[in-house]
Amino acid sequence: MRRGFYIGRFQPYHNGHQSVLEHIAHEVDEIVIGIGSAQLSHLTDNPFTAGERVLMITRALASLGCPFYVIPIEDIRRNALWVAHVQSMTPPFDLCYSSNPLVVQLFKEAGVTVQSPAMYERETLSGTGIRSRMLNRDPWKDLVPPAVVQVLKEIDGVERLRQISQQD
Amino acid sequence: MRRGFYIGRFQPYHNGHQSVLEHIAHEVDEIVIGIGSAQLSHLTDNPFTAGERVLMITRALASLGCPFYVIPIEDIRRNALWVAHVQSMTPPFDLCYSSNPLVVQLFKEAGVTVQSPAMYERETLSGTGIRSRMLNRDPWKDLVPPAVVQVLKEIDGVERLRQISQQD
Amino acid sequence: MRRGFYIGRFQPYHNGHQSVLEHIAHEVDEIVIGIGSAQLSHLTDNPFTAGERVLMITRALASLGCPFYVIPIEDIRRNALWVAHVQSMTPPFDLCYSSNPLVVQLFKEAGVTVQSPAMYERETLSGTGIRSRMLNRDPWKDLVPPAVVQVLKEIDGVERLRQISQQD
Amino acid sequence: MRRGFYIGRFQPYHNGHQSVLEHIAHEVDEIVIGIGSAQLSHLTDNPFTAGERVLMITRALASLGCPFYVIPIEDIRRNALWVAHVQSMTPPFDLCYSSNPLVVQLFKEAGVTVQSPAMYERETLSGTGIRSRMLNRDPWKDLVPPAVVQVLKEIDGVERLRQISQQD
Amino acid sequence: MRRGFYIGRFQPYHNGHQSVLEHIAHEVDEIVIGIGSAQLSHLTDNPFTAGERVLMITRALASLGCPFYVIPIEDIRRNALWVAHVQSMTPPFDLCYSSNPLVVQLFKEAGVTVQSPAMYERETLSGTGIRSRMLNRDPWKDLVPPAVVQVLKEIDGVERLRQISQQD
Amino acid sequence: MRRGFYIGRFQPYHNGHQSVLEHIAHEVDEIVIGIGSAQLSHLTDNPFTAGERVLMITRALASLGCPFYVIPIEDIRRNALWVAHVQSMTPPFDLCYSSNPLVVQLFKEAGVTVQSPAMYERETLSGTGIRSRMLNRDPWKDLVPPAVVQVLKEIDGVERLRQISQQD
């Protein structure tokens, strides 16, 4: 039994994340998905709550065909403790998938195997880019799974992002 | 679509919790299960990590037949903020199932509907009772789902409880 | 200009506090009233929020005839920092009125003058005693200023105390 | 009885705040004034302690003719919990006056009525602008109530701002 | 090069600690001494600050003949993160000396070697016992190194303990 | 007996710090060295843990000829409480050596004597500059004591800095 860990902030969850997870699903028996900065919401860079992100991910992966766990991970602002924090909140995992240099370093120092997942196109597929498009009223719905479009509609998420991004 | 919320510390998850959740599964479309005091572990009253409890619950409910989310909820020690904290970490829910007087009061003040679930036998089925039996080497495996027995074996959980419960 | 500091948890504010403050009002030009453990509420020992306690105190002292400030003070759980914490949240004061041995010691070590206020009858007038009477449905309204009775009625405070004090 | 809430950082309290509060005083029976980022002080952007700001506001509003409460509000860095945090620290209020987009959004999501107060001239009247003038030794005393000039003199506030703004 | 770790609360540091450390000094090249619950002071069970305890230990070990580090360790209330917390605050160590069952378990789970040090007489030599003697004005000076007697005199430590232990 | 306090982040400890401390060693009987932002590590601006910095400082000062204490100081993000926090973690000191304008102001407001130490050449000797050189593979070993070169080699510190400084 082989369990892999993948973490992101998912603000919002998009096709790049989906593609990485579909790839990981073929390599492990179970996936643990950590939602980073879980305590943040209602910020221009972090507009959605952890619970809203849980909903996006779970619905988007409904037909993944590989069991997965979705776990909110609050920041602890102590890098030296972060791996222990993650491990205490998640089922035990054997390897971590990440391309983030800090995450890679922290897991390596903790003795956890790290793999860099096949990378999606960062220029078009990034949370920053998609939030920008939402603010500029450029098309964005093709960049996220249909389930995410639906969740954002239910929570009036794009309107929230626009409101909190106004100048004071 | 009707989503219900149920919270416990699940130290460990036992047949009482299982029976309540099987009951709730017939009344709602989805269940959000909150793991309370998620940050605590390695204590006589809270021996298991949130991640270990996620594993117990997910495996034990594998054949529930109702979609569910398992979400670790760290304590915030601010009762007046607790409902907002829970709501930020979970998909939106319509009603809360609880018999805990404080939980009932906090959700009522926040305007959330609360129902008291059909109660299991608290005398035989309680985390406190089961941890006691583990410490006293009394039989306890019949009081929890088979999946919990297996998780505890994998993490050497009973041995951990015994070790940390020794007198200094 | 002479400013005095007085702190309590005021769960609830009662005639003993009122009598001490009326006494202090004759000795100083302004009073700073700190509401301790401001972050706590909905607990058997700390049922009321800081805001509710602000309301009790402000109304009860409406005709004090001495200007006063009512300042919620959150706990910091670091005794060595507590005086600096209090001083950062309050207008500067010249002396502290307290009979609490720890408060006396902390202010003395910080070089602040401390006076022990004329004491009220602790046996009949104490937050613990009044909360007990509320729970046991014994008479309690004569032990608090009329304004406190009114605030408690507005917030349904006694009912809240009874609900959260039930056994799980 | 109608109670309104108004929040600012008041670094320092200035004529713009004063004018808004005088306006609100005609619309409500009582005003609750929240001092935001109460825990911050001795920073270029937040030079004054919460207690010092309590003093500025209380003195400046001495002849407002409308009862008011001045409540320090520490940051919690959890936007989804912020309204509950504010409400726990303040007497209950019916409406919030704010032009800050985030504050407006958070109160709206919490179901609290929000009004945008008649706006003062942000270009000349802003904390940032006034702190800049203090640092550059440009005239600033006409931009704040006389009581604020006096408080700043008592605490040697401008000198503090200049000292902490020096380059290391 | 072999470095050993030893932790205690040292409220106060006594002859039992001294004897254990003298023993450890023969087994390792350097000793790292952690002061637990460093953030606590001015409490009946934790009367002395971390800085005061640093002073007691450093002076008492002046002629130990083995290099040592004295490091205050604040509590983190997250047992699953505690070893990582300790390791981030201390020079790397090879083994831990402890008889505390929780400390033993946490280090073992983290893969650190643990040894139980030769034990002192817990009945006569314990922080609790010595604080009790101080409160009851029973003899206690023979139970601690002379340097500790001197530090306690300099900080007026016994008087502080007596003052904060009074009933309110 | 005269004790001086000196604080820095020491990321890493370099010849400028060494030179200041050698100077202070001639003016006082004992030195307390505070390691600021002790909780931070694995960041581009704060790559090394408190424990690693303890090691660098202690080894580099082995032949200082003046007793010294090395104390990790975690941030508290409350400037008004910072001096009390430092004082609770350190042996009592009589004067503080600092050129940092904020540190100077905070200690002055707390009534502690502050001296500006003889300054080293900030342009060549600064943590920022040295970390830059490490990243750019420019020579840096001559800017730190030999003991620091050795510690960085033992912990593979330069490699860590390079890894965490990569773009995501």
Q: State pLDDT tens for residues C90-138.
A: 999 999 999 899 999 999 999 999 998 876 767 678 999 999 999 999 9
Neighbours of chain E (3+ CB pairs under 8 A): A, B, C, F
CA F60/CA F44 separation, integer angstroms: 23
Q: Cα distance from A160 to chain B (closest Cα, Å)?
A: 15
- Residues 83-142, chain A: which have Cβ within 8 Å of E? 83-85, 87-88
CB burial of residue E129 (10 Å; 0-12, 13-18, 19+): middle
CA distance C99 to chain D (A): 24
Residue B79's Cβ-side half-sphere holds a number of Cα atoms within 13 Å equal to: 24
Contact F88 E155 (CB under 8 A): no
Using CA atoms, how far apart are residues D12 and D133, in angstroms rounded to an integer? 12
Q: Which residues contact E120 (CB under 8 A, 6 or more apart)?
A: E15, E16, E17, E19, E20
Select the more confidently predicted residue: F48 or B116: F48
Q: What is the pTM of this model?
A: 0.96
Q: Which of E9, E75, E102 to mutate to test the interface with B (most CBs of B within 10 A)?
A: E102
Q: Do F54 and E69 make contact, defined as CB atoms within 8 angstroms? A: yes
- Chains in contact with C via at least 3 Cβ–Cβ pairs below 8 Å: B, D, E, F
Distance in Å, alpha carbon of D77 to nearest chain F alpha carbon = 13
Q: Which residue of A has its CA nearest to F163?
A: A101
Phi and psi of C162, rounded to 5°?
-65, -40
Q: Is the peptide bond before B12 cis (omega within 30 degrees of 0)?
A: yes
Report CA E123 to chain centroid distance, whole Å: 17
Residue ranges of E strands in chain C: 3-8, 30-35, 68-72, 95-97, 113-115
The pLDDT, as a whole number, for residue D24 is 96
Which of the other chains make 3 or more beta carbon contacts under 8 angstroms with chain D?
A, B, C, F
pLDDT attached to residue C52? 98
F81: closest CA of chain D, how far (Å):
10
Kindly determine whether residue F101 and residue D164, on different chains, have CB atoms separated by under 8 Å: yes
What was the pLDDT predicted at B167? Answer: 79
With CA atoms as reference, report the closest residue to C85 among E134, D38, B74, B146: D38
Q: What are phi and psi of D114, to 5 degrees?
A: -125, 135
Instruction: Report the range of poorest mean pLDDT among B43-57, C6-20, D93-107, F108-122.
Output: F108-122
Minimal CA separation from F48 to chain E, in Å: 9
**What's the number of CA atoms in the CB half-sphere (13 Å) around residue D68?**
29
Residue E158 vs residues B112, C110, E154: alpha-carbon distances, Å: 53, 18, 10
Give the three-state DSSP class for E135: helix
Nearest chain F residue to D37 by CA: give it. Answer: F78
Contacting residues of E for A78, CB less than 8 Å apart: 85, 88
Q: What angle do CA F68, F71, F75 make, to 5 degrees?
A: 145
Per the structure block, which two tokens stand in for A98?
Answer: 């990440």
Contact across the interface for B101 and C43, Cβ inside 8 Å: no
Among the partner residues B80, B85, B88, nearest to D88 by beta-carbon distance: B80
CA A17 remoteness from chain centre: 7
Sort out which chain D residues have CB atoms less than 8 A from C52's CB and list them.
91
Residue with tokens 């109304």: C59
Listed in sequence order, the residues at least 6 apart from D10 whose beta carbon sits closer than 8 Å to its beta carbon are D17, D35, D48, D53, D56, D57, D127
What token pair was written down for B79?
């009762």
Q: Do the Cβ atoms of D158 and D134 come closer than 8 Å?
A: yes
Contacts of A77 in chain F (CB under 8 A): 39
- CA separation for the pair E61, E30 (Å, rounded): 13
Instruction: Tell me if there are at least 3 CB pairs under 8 Å linking chains C and A.
Output: no
Distance CA A64, CA A145 (A): 13
| CA distances, F134 to each of F124, F130, F157, F161 (Å) | 14, 6, 10, 8
* Cα–Cα dist A56/A36, whole Å: 14
3-state secondary structure of E18: helix
Residue B72, SS3?
strand
Put simply, the chain E residues between 1 and 40 with a CB less than 8 A from any chain C CB are: 39-40
Yes or no: say if E36 and E75 are a contact pair by the CB < 8 Å rule: yes
Q: Distance (Å) from the C-alpha of residue B15 to the closest C-alpha of chain A?
A: 21
Residue A72 φ/ψ, nearest 5 degrees: -65, 135
pLDDT of residue F26: 95
- In eight-state DSSP terms, residue F141 is G
Residue D22 has pLDDT above 80, yes or no: yes
Structure tokens at A137: 């009223």
Q: Give the separation between CA F135 and CA A142, rounded to whole angstroms.
A: 40
- The H-assigned helical ranges of chain E are 15-24, 50-60, 79-89, 101-109, 127-136, 146-154, 157-164
In chain D, what residues touch A40 (CB-CB under 8 Å)?
A: 78-79
Alpha-helical regions (H) of A12-126: 15-24, 50-60, 79-89, 101-109
Q: Residue A115, class by beta-carbon neighbours within 10 Å (0-12 exposed, 13-18 middle, 19+ buried)?
A: middle
User: Which residue, among B41, B37, B52, has the nearest Cα to B85 in the 3D structure?
Assistant: B37
Task: Note the pLDDT tens digit of each residue in D116-167.
Answer: 887 676 767 899 999 999 999 999 999 999 999 999 999 999 999 999 999 7
> Cα separation of A31 and A3, whole Å?
6
Task: State the count of interchain CB pairs (< 8 A) between C and F.
Answer: 24
**How many of the other CB atoms lie within 10 Å of CB of A53?**
29
Cβ density class A94-112: b for 16+ within 10 Å, e for less = ebbbbbbebbbbbbebbeb
Tens of pLDDT, residue by residue, chain E (168 residues): 899 999 999 999 999 999 999 999 999 999 999 999 999 999 999 999 999 999 999 999 999 999 999 999 999 999 999 999 999 999 999 999 998 999 999 999 999 999 988 767 676 789 999 999 999 999 999 999 999 999 999 999 999 999 999 976
Picking from F81, F83, F88, the nearest residue to C85 by CB comes out as F81
How many angstroms separate the CA atoms of B135 and B129, rounded? 10
Q: d(Cα D32, Cα F42) in Å, to the nearest integer?
A: 43
C119: phi then psi, degrees, rounded to nearest 5: -90, 140
Residues in B touching D80 (Cβ below 8 Å): 84-85, 87-88
Q: CB–CB of B60/B147 below 8 Å?
A: yes
Confidence of residue B124 (pLDDT cuts 50, 70, 90): confident
Tens digits of pLDDT across chain A (168 residues): 899 999 999 999 999 999 999 999 999 999 999 999 999 999 999 999 999 999 999 999 999 999 999 999 999 999 999 999 999 999 999 999 998 999 999 999 999 999 988 767 676 789 999 999 999 999 999 999 999 999 999 999 999 999 999 976
Interval D61-90 mean pLDDT: 97
Q: Could you tell me if B105 and C164 are in contact, meaning their C-beta atoms sit under 8 angstroms apart?
A: yes
Give me the residue label for tokens 């619309």: D27
CB contact under 8 A, B79 and C40: yes
Closest approach of C40 to chain B, Cα-based (Å) = 6
Confidence at residue B84, expressed as pLDDT on a 0 to 100 scale: 98
User: How many CB atoms sit inside 10 A of residue C165's CB?
Assistant: 16
Average pLDDT over chain D, rounded to whole? Answer: 95
* CB environment F123-159: b (16+ within 10 A), e (fewer): eebbbebbbeebeeeeebeebbbebbbebbeebebbe
Contact F57/D at CB under 8 A: no
Question: Is the Cβ pair C84, F88 closer than 8 Å?
Answer: no
- D79 contacts D103 by C-beta, under 8 angstroms: no
Question: Which residue is listed with tokens 């602790």?
Answer: C122
How far is Cα C156 from Cα C49, in angstroms, rounded to an integer?
A: 13
Q: Tens digits of per-residue pLDDT, C74-90?
A: 999 999 999 999 999 99
Give residue-wise pLDDT tens across range E13-31.
999 999 999 999 999 999 9
Q: Which residues of C touch E166 (CB under 8 A)?
A: 101
